[in-house]
Structure 1
Amino acid sequence: MLNSNTVESTSAASNSAYNAIHPPERLRQLAAKLEMNNPVFWISGSFLTLFVLLALTHPVTLSSVVDSGFQLATRYFGAFWQILLLANFVIGLALCFGRTGDVRLGDLNTPDVTNFKWLSIVLCTLLAGGGVFWAAAEPIAHFVSPPPLFGSQDAKTNAINALSQSFVHWGFLAWAVLGCLSSIVLMHLHYDKGLPLKPRTLLYPLLGEKAIKGGIGNTVDALSIIAVAAGTIGPIGFLGLQISYAMQELFGTTDTFITQAIVVVVAMVFYTLSALSGVNRGIQLVSRYNIILTVALIVFILFAGPTGFIIDSYVQGLGQMIDQFVPMALYRGNPEWLGWWTVFFWGWFIGYAPMMAIFIARISRGRTIRQLVLAISIAAPLVTCFWFTIVGGSGLAFELENPGVIQAGFEGFNMPGALLAITQQLPFPTLISILFLILTTTFIVTTGDSMTYTITMVISGDKEPNATIRAFWGIIMGAVAIVLISLGSGGISALQSFIVITAVPASFIIAPSLWYAPKIANQMAKQQRL
């Protein structure tokens, strides 16, 4: 005869087995909120998990594989990417200044986001943390090692050439690929035709229903999420490394993993809370204050820094970029240099492009093609180039006046070192350094919240994803960044390089827009009787 303990043990075992097969209602609800039945969730989530596990267990092997993939991608697809970006920009201008420029997108007669808020979100999201550290580091990098297209000349000419090369990498072509032609296609197919606001929809004009349903669509969405997650986690991790280094230089704190992790956690909390509040609240608010701080620093440096050099070098650098635009955009003379500079940046931006196009489409309803192109392909690049002149141009002026003062801080490609070397030459150096670090953090927060929101929108298919899935992806990206920085800069660098590999499929996702965006724009012009 069974005793009571045996009966209880048997009952407990039965309950455990039943719960394993039939999870409690609360777990089923959580799984539903996280879209765990969605193949896109499993493909993208599994890849990030595998990447982290390999980084922890086989870092050398992972680094070798990523480096090999990076080299293959830049070698065999670099020329294609250069042509793709140039064609994307030129076709966008043609649509902007033709009769299609008056076509109104998004099935609304007036924009649903004000101009200032819209431009703030666009600038802050697309610039990300690169808008601060790269603005300080890239001009001095090209000054120290002149681009092969120009070669080494006198110091003043080298400085202008350095700015001009930086303008190409962060100017018209980079911005245009992130949100013009592909956004036109998405806005028409989503708002006018009712197709999902997902990367797969970019292939609908080419593949029809095959792109929307089944394996092709799931794969396209997952690849786009992996690319933008890698491109977002990388800057989040670098933020921890760079802010920790800067705090050590400024305040004598210890540059350790704990400090780096705390920085990432703080950023993660802010961008996750911002993403939870949505586009119309947190994302707009953070972007607004980000722009206000940026403008304040611009005004201060413009008048307290080397004013004459800033204005002259901006005009000369911009003029040279326009004069040498096509040769600089299509330069193929030094493959090794291209792989570490132009083609690297093009791969990085292309990897972002499908998801950025979705975000731009989400916040740009009611705007015309002309407004979209002028803002993203013209105005934003000009502002970005001026910002690079304010930060990096000031550094070049200080370097010309006192050789070595900026180069010493930048030695070893130390990007935060270059920024601090510049701020130390300005009045109130400690205060300005702190403000730049705050600005860097808010830039990362605006990118983190926007991409968290966009990733969850793609997975869930909802314009306002539930709070659970937003919080999950926000925390996951921060957690992955922390795990990778625990390995040193190598783990984050591997992930950052990986986005260039993801640009290979991403480039084929956005390429059809070169043909279909003009076709759609002309159809809409006829429908709107323009």
Structure 2
Amino acid sequence: MPSNACQIADSNNTSLNSDSSRFEAKLVPILTIGFISLFIFAALADMSSFTALIQTSFESAANTFGYSWQILMLVNFLIALAIAFSPLGKKVMGTVKKPTIGTFRWLAMIMCTLLAGGGVFWSAAEPIYHFITPPPIFEGVVGSTQQAVDPALGQAFLHWGFLAWAVLGTLATIVLMYAHHEHGVKLRPRALLFPIFGKKLEDHWLGSVIDACSIIAVAAGTIGPIGFLASQLGYSLELLTGLENNVQSQLMILAVVVSIYSISAASGMDKGLQWLSRLNVIGAFGLLLAMLFLGPTKFILTEFGSAFGDYIHHFGELSLANDKPSWNVWWTWFFWGWFIGFAPMMAIFIARISEGRSIRGLVLAVAIGAPIVTNFWFAVLGGTGIFLELQTPGVISGPLNDGGLPAVLLASLSNLPLSGILLPAFLVLTTTFVVTTGDSMAYSIAMVVSGDNEPDSKHRLFWAITMGVVAAVLLLAGNGGLNALQSFIVITAVPVSILIAFTLISGPIAAYRMTCATKQVAV
């Protein structure tokens, strides 16, 4: 073939590849925004039918994949520990020898992003639920008695402990650090498959589908808490100030929350997010000390030690408990679906801020240190409510039955000294936790969609506002909209769980290859 013909052929191929690349780049936002729009339209068109469909799909997904998720979560944790304590754990990830972000700020950003407002409300409410009605695995334990304290806290420790944290930031983060820093692959969910498939998915439509599924899952997991925060704060403010808790007041609260985290998202990771995270950790630590000194200190410390010991002793049994699937659907499988759905985007966020950390340091901080701190937090807030209920039956369970989840925290705090200070302080803390999550997830979504580690402020702002707008629409549609979104989180976890399952293989491969590459350079 003449040389000019070859040049024409090469030119045509380049043009085709360029067109394909441009289409692929647009496919992720098209799929994501299109699906979110379809979800809103369906919710507004016929809420009752839509909710029924979501509910049926939710139960089907949980019953079909729930036990597999239990195995996935446990194996993920064990493999992460094995890598961390092997010689591979010494490997420092990234292109720098020292961390680019200080340890305190690093831990603060990670903890605040995961805990969010749910960690505050669930830490007070979940132990009380299990205390009143012990989980099926604790057969023979009588609810609302001293005998039920350790099982109640132990079950809550499982749901917010080692397995939950490990899936969010260990193997998946290791894979992303390897793919991005060793091979220049963009920080996107599809990169979790890089050690197995190489760069084949970088410009492939399947890679876009993987990214879109992960974005939709984390958007659902973030929008839900944002919307519920507005309704919970509305309920709380009505009790504290008499301000009527209606849609209008909830929308006003939502507008304030979205404005705060949108401004923070627009300012960038090095400013707003780090500042919010430090504020959250300092505030949480101060309130934790206040709860300890003003509450039943001896009871909390004693029961934390006892319950945590039982949790460790029965760790495997609790992790794989499947005695009553109908219970697991609404508890363990729901939480596992939520955390798995968050995992790819959370791992991207952690990878973005963890350059210069060793594999061992990452795993010990995320999968060991953070869960222990979280469990102690649950013991303080949840343990206080249990103690009050033991002393005066009905003082916590009554408000729980009447007002639901938000009522537990309010009832617990109102029975402590200085409740006039503690109540508003915890409401502010809950708000800043949710704000931090909205900020960090908007940043992560913008990273994936733009393919840029430093996404433009317009991209970050767009996703921050979009999540707030969706929450507002679902609030206007009624509680069924937010409840449907909460159930939808578990449905989105199905495809994402398949992606996370690959990290059980790609994680060790990535750790091994990073370590081998370092040795070759040294030689």
Per the normalisation by structure 1, the TM-score is 0.92
Counterpart residue identity of residue 123, structure 2: A
User: Residues of 2 paired with 1:36 and 1:182: CA distance?
Assistant: 24
Name the residue aligned to 1:114: 102
User: Residues of 1 paired with 2:403 and 2:90: CA distance?
Assistant: 46
Q: Deviations over 1:115-155 (max 9, x none)?
A: 00000000000111111110111000001111000035351
Alpha-carbon contact 1:274-1:282 (below 8 Å) kept: yes
Q: CA deviation at 1:526?
A: 2.8
User: Is 1:365–2:355 an aligned residue pair?
Assistant: yes
Name the residue aligned to 1:415: 405
Alpha-carbon contact 2:24-2:205 (below 8 Å) kept: no
Q: CA deviation at 1:205?
A: 2.5
Name the residue aligned to 2:85: 97
Give the alignment's Cα RMSD to 1 decimal: 1.4
1:264-343 map, 5 Å? 264-343=254-333
Q: Deviations over 1:453-483 (max 9, x none)?
A: 0000100011111121211111111011011
Runs of 4+ with deviation above 4 angstroms: none
Aligned with residue 154 of structure 2, among 160, 164, 187: 164
- SS where residue 511 of structure 1 aligns? helix
Q: Deviations over 1:416-456 (max 9, x none)?
A: 10010000111111221101100100000000000000000
Name the residue aligned to 1:479: 469
User: Residues of 1 paired with 2:518 and 2:386: CA distance?
Assistant: 50
Alpha-carbon contact 1:224-1:506 (below 8 Å) kept: yes
Aligned with residue 344 of structure 1, among 330, 334, 339: 334
User: Residues of 1 paired with 2:222 and 2:425: CA distance?
Assistant: 22
Name the residue aligned to 2:17: none
- SS where residue 40 of structure 1 aligns? helix
Alpha-carbon contact 1:210-1:216 (below 8 Å) kept: no
Alpha-carbon contact 2:74-2:163 (below 8 Å) kept: yes
User: Residues of 1 paired with 2:292 and 2:436: CA distance?
Assistant: 25
Aligned with residue 214 of structure 1, among 199, 204, 208: 204
User: Residues of 2 paired with 1:518 and 1:200: CA distance?
Assistant: 17
Q: CA deviation at 1:413?
A: 6.9
Alpha-carbon contact 1:152-1:158 (below 8 Å) kept: no
Equivalent pairs counted in the alignment come to 496
Per the normalisation by structure 2, the TM-score is 0.93
Counterpart residue identity of residue 67, structure 1: Q
User: Residues of 2 paired with 1:89 and 1:301: CA distance?
Assistant: 31
User: Is 1:457–2:447 an aligned residue pair?
Assistant: yes
Counterpart residue identity of residue 244, structure 1: G
1:198-277 map, 5 Å? 198-277=188-267
Name the residue aligned to 1:9: none
User: Residues of 2 paired with 1:413 and 1:378: CA distance?
Assistant: 34
Name the residue aligned to 1:520: 510
Alpha-carbon contact 2:141-2:147 (below 8 Å) kept: yes
User: Residues of 2 paired with 1:109 and 1:314: CA distance?
Assistant: 38
User: Residues of 2 paired with 1:81 and 1:196: CA distance?
Assistant: 27
Q: CA deviation at 1:52?
A: 0.8
Aligned with residue 134 of structure 2, among 121, 126, 146: 146
Alpha-carbon contact 2:96-2:356 (below 8 Å) kept: yes
Counterpart residue identity of residue 129, structure 2: A
Counterpart residue identity of residue 163, structure 2: L
User: Residues of 1 paired with 2:403 and 2:488: CA distance?
Assistant: 20
Name the residue aligned to 1:18: none
Alpha-carbon contact 2:261-2:435 (below 8 Å) kept: yes
1:46-57 map, 5 Å? 46-57=34-45
User: Residues of 2 paired with 1:38 and 1:131: CA distance?
Assistant: 35
User: Residues of 2 paired with 1:451 and 1:112: CA distance?
Assistant: 20
Counterpart residue identity of residue 194, structure 2: Y
Q: CA deviation at 1:312?
A: 0.6
User: Is 1:353–2:343 an aligned residue pair?
Assistant: yes
Gaps of 5+ in 1: 1-34
